[in-house]
Chain A
């Protein structure tokens, strides 16, 4: 049993055919690295010389046992990557934990305004209510307005990015000629690169004035933020949707065409149903983008934390989970920071969950198509 473990470990670190010399080289290198990490954690002051020692030992090993050292280095890279990822996740949850313990459901206070509990999907039956729902001095932190702001922005963004994205994906995958596709597809990908702060600046400078004029609003609103975020998420939806449509085996479409169906009939009855899960994965990914979008929202909407009144008032404005963090972190007290971490954890869980779901859907689809092709 112990021998098994030893052989396994040895094989993971060294690979199958290792000699004693390589064992020494790799062992020395790994040991210095471990020492470096320990020193960094407990006596960070002398970490730099330890790094030097590690580099020296590894370089020595590289000259003599290159293959084994290379393998070790890639293993170290993997371990460090995994550790970084795990550590970030754990740190987030650990930092949010005090606020969870302290406030509990108090993080979801349903506001009381004008002497009445605001209607929030009958949730006031379960959730606590309060007239002061965001008051860092008084220790009242309700994330409900920010959550609702995120939901509103995401809904509007989805309403824009979903249909337009589907049309765009269909166009690139099925309608456009080869030449046109070679221009538009990279073009859409390049547009996915426009930084969100640029969208935010446009919204801040131009669109807010437009809304005041055309929608009699006082500027910042869910509508504009949602539209801008929808446009931002559009390239993502188009790219992923197009990939899904293109991964439908040609044979399926050809079969339909051979039966005398038109291209539209083929698209409607073959391509879209076959790629449906992939397209929805794209939409989910795009929505994830929209939920996580910070700068455009923060630039367009003020940082107020009022719950939209009435609930579906698209012309109202409030901070979303992301802009709440961005705008408040700099001036936040310690207990507020804990609450902001709760917001961060919520975002992390929701978006990571959406990503996992969309990956699952995509994998299912690919397996199904492989089976049928």
Chain B
């Protein structure tokens, strides 16, 4: 269809003339009016603006339009995103011309924006009417139908009815029955005018009449800026500030629809163009509203939320590492076709990588020069019910310190990622006798260390008064560390020593790679945990042994990886290059793994580790007061909402722990074991119904049933359970979908191999369904994380919490039943959503700026869950369909 259509468009384009150009401009003008209507509705530009003030606002819009049209024009010219449609070009040009015209008018003539918009509507009405008449007298070549259609007739009838009612009401008053007659008359006339004549008249003249009336009403200030209509019977009324934008929006939609029909020459194609333009404008409106909400909350809350945010340059660099992997992957995905504009596309793909590089360079320069990089700004806090401005800054500090957890998180993530990219190096390279011996003894050594760890865990480091931990423990740890450092050096030594080219050596010593990386990681991990239970930290001079070895291992692994990467470049054989690629992935796993151990050591022993002025410490250099501090009652700085963040984390964790096992288990039973029939259908309907049940109803249940049985007070545990009840149906629904969507061929194939049903479920069905389940859980968690209504019933709401729930430290073992108690779980806590509600409920004593910041943090948390969930789903779906 598109082919034939394109040719026809070209034919029309060939005879593009004044009629087309004019209508393109009219459509452009209508689109602009529509945008202006939205702008005035939210009062971004006051309707009473005139002269230079108006000119400036319009100039801003002009800049936006010219910029937008300009970039599209340039990319079209450069053939990056070719725009072939004559209409799109015409409308874009019309948009620029009409914006320019309005701006010039605003400066030249002293009119208000309202009058200007009214006049614009009149112009559009005239343009549409002229086009319709021109088509009727056949000055231009169009193909109209015999009638504009009943649907249009009904729409215009309704419009006429409303307009007639308003006009009649204001002329003769709503008391006399005459206004009903006027309304009915106007509706009938417009409806008849639409349906009876030929399409070109029927879809232009009524539109012109309506748009013209609306425009004249505004332009002649019958409904002006200061206009008010306050009916006695209603508790509210209407002002020009609300009515004019609505008039403008309606008028703009009508005139653009009509102009679009004219432009496409009426008939089937005209209707299509008109309908599509209206749909597009509506979607534009919708997207604008939605985007405004997110942007608005961000703008309002980001200042307060980021007050005092500082991060050490080194920490920032560490955080950049996973991002680097992501952008490298994005840049590596194969470029589309071999078209000549692939170059431009490649450029776009490489841009993120370049950006990461630049940021890294900036951070490095901060580290090297020692100069703080800061962006100062002010934010407002509430003191004694008055807003007060405080100075603050977002800063990157030059401290060469990285927090242990900040190091562990990305390093662990990366090591898992690289391990997953690593396939296998089995049976590659030559076997070495002594390496085999080590390989066989290693598990024993690790198992021995683990056993010792278990022993110390059970009886303590000093069983029977013997200082076993201080002697045997130290000895084993040192021994394991020495062995680990030797093993870690194996790959490097293997690549460096021996004969042949670098690549051949690297391929030949593949066994040393696996042995070195996995062996030393395993040994060092076991040593690390032995250390913790034996409560020893052996050190050589000022340097602790375990982290020292970890660092050495990381250096050795990165050196080996770099050498292999160099060798891979030199190598010409495809197979060899692939094997070396595996070795690189393995080496990177090693580097990330060693760094993880280094961070873990610091986190576990609480002893910081410093080498060459760079240190890994427990007190990191990331400071985000909003989420890392509690409220400070009498300070100059307000502190943050740490209790709420902690509360939400625990709520989500608890709800997930409750709902996911139940939901997934039930989904497996219902889909794999139970017979599909009445019962499963009933469960499905019930869960769906429960999923859409109002959340407040769950809150009611929690407050009336759970709370009396859980200590009688608002509690974290009740909140977890209530959110868990809400999460349960969603987990069940999505897991069932996921399990169902595993093709039956999988199960049949497995059964044909003689595998039992449970084995099939365990090793075929569940792995295949896992992506769907995980996605569903993430999306569900996103929803319950923002759930407020049940929480204010079962958790209460605290405005300025100064203590966060200490759930982990709260566990106590008691002598009498139930033997385990946790006060933190049974007491109320703050949470992000209830924090926002607390600001609302506090009325004048609530700090709006703090409310916005809390809302922003909440939005950030929830939208992150959603974005991750949806990205994961798209990714897995694409993977499935490609396979």
Contacts and interface: CB of A to CB of B under 8 A. Distances in A.
Nearest to B661: A77
B662 A201 contact: no
Interface string A149-170: 0000000000000001001101
Interface in A172-206: 175, 182, 184, 186-202, 204-206
A355 B684 CA distance: 12
12 contacts: A49-B817, A77-B663, A187-B290, A194-B294, A195-B859, A196-B786, A315-B234, A325-B699, A337-B704, A341-B700, A354-B692, A359-B685
A146 interface: no
A90 to B, nearest CB: 11
A200 B1 CA distance: 47
Contact of B858 (A44, A171, A198): A198
Interface string B737-754: 000000000000000000
Interface stretch (A23-31, A78-86, A108-116): A78-86
A238 B234 CA distance: 33
A103 B748 CA distance: 60
Interface stretch (A130-138, A284-292, A364-372): A284-292
Contact of A214 (B239, B664, B859): B239
Contact of B293 (A194, A210, A291, A299): A194
B673 interface: yes
A344 B696 contact: yes
B683 A82 contact: yes
A292 B726 CA distance: 14
Nearest to A213: B241
B439 interface: no
A234 B692 contact: no
Contact of A347 (B272, B666, B696): B696
Interface string A66-98: 110011011111101110110010011001000
B843 to A, nearest CB: 10
Interface stretch (A53-61, A121-129, A215-223, A243-251): A215-223
Contacts of B756: 67
B72 interface: no
Interface centre among B672, B688, B694, B729 (most CB of A within 10 A): B694
A215 B242 contact: yes
B787 A75 contact: no
Contact of A313 (B233, B278, B672, B759): B233
Contact of B786 (A186, A193, A218, A223): A193
Nearest to A325: B696
B725 A215 contact: no
B664 A190 contact: no
Contacts of B700: 92, 325, 329, 340-341, 344
Interface of B: 1, 42-43, 228, 230, 233-239, 241-242, 268-269, 271-272, 275-276, 278-280, 282-283, 285-287, 289-290, 293-294, 296-297, 661-666, 668-670, 672-674, 683, 685-701, 703-705, 709, 725, 728-729, 732, 756-759, 761-762, 779, 782-783, 785-789, 792-793, 816-820, 833, 836-837, 839-840, 848, 851-852, 855, 858-859, 862-863, 865-867, 870-871, 874
Given A84-B725, A354-B692, 8 more contacts: A78-B669, A85-B687, A167-B278, A198-B855, A201-B851, A217-B237, A264-B272, A340-B700
Nearest to A263: B272
B664 A294 contact: no
A66 B662 CA distance: 18
Interface size class of A (residues with CB under 8 A): 35 or more
Nearest to A172: B283
Contacts of B294: 191, 194
Nearest to B837: A197
Interface of A: 15, 44-49, 66-67, 70-71, 73-78, 80-82, 84-85, 88, 91-92, 95, 164, 167-168, 170-171, 175, 182, 184, 186-202, 204-206, 210-211, 213-218, 221, 223, 231, 234-235, 238, 257, 261-265, 267-268, 285, 288-289, 291-295, 298-299, 309-310, 313-316, 322, 325-326, 329-330, 337, 340-341, 344, 347-348, 351-352, 354-356, 359
B870 A75 contact: no
A194 B693 CA distance: 18
B236 to A, nearest CB: 3
Contacts of A257: 1
Q: State the main secondary structure of chain A at its contact with B.
A: helix
A171 B788 contact: no
B293 A202 contact: yes
Given A168-B282, A210-B43, A70 B662 contact: no
Greatest chain B CB density within 10 A among A188, A206, A295 is at A295
A281 to B, nearest CB: 11
A292 B696 contact: yes
B866 A92 contact: no
Contacts of B689: 351-352, 355-356
Contact of B695 (A78, A234, A294, A315): A294
A295 B787 CA distance: 9
A175 B276 contact: yes
A189 to B, nearest CB: 6
A15 B757 contact: yes
A200 B704 CA distance: 26
A329 B703 contact: yes
Contact of B758 (A48, A71, A310, A329): A71
A29 to B, nearest CB: 14
A268 B871 CA distance: 32
B237 A216 contact: yes
A216 B673 contact: no
A325 B665 CA distance: 34
Given A84-B728, A171-B279, A193-B866, A48 B694 contact: no
Nearest to A215: B236
B692 A175 contact: no
Given A88-B725, A190-B866, A195-B859, A295 B692 contact: no
Contacts of A211: 236
A48 B664 CA distance: 24
Given A84-B728, A198-B297, A198-B858, A77 B666 contact: yes
A195 B758 contact: no
Given A196-B788, A234-B286, A205 B848 contact: yes
A307 B694 CA distance: 23
B268 A355 contact: no
B788 A295 contact: yes
Contacts of B839: 201
A326 B818 contact: no
B789 A80 contact: no
Contact of A167 (B283, B663, B686): B283
Contact of B272 (A265, A313, A356): A265
B692 A195 contact: no
B782 A193 contact: yes
A347 B662 contact: no
Contact of A85 (B233, B690, B836, B852): B690
Contacts of A67: 756-759
B397 to A, nearest CB: 32
A337 B855 CA distance: 30
A351 B694 contact: yes
Contact of A92 (B665, B697, B783, B858): B697
Nearest to B700: A344
B836 A218 contact: no
Contacts of B666: 74, 77-78, 80-82
A208 B762 CA distance: 55
A197 B836 contact: yes
A88 B662 CA distance: 16
B850 to A, nearest CB: 11
B786 A202 contact: no
A267 B787 CA distance: 37
A186 B761 CA distance: 31
B837 A292 contact: no
Contacts of B699: 325-326, 329
Contacts of B818: 44-49
B840 A81 contact: no
A77 B851 contact: no
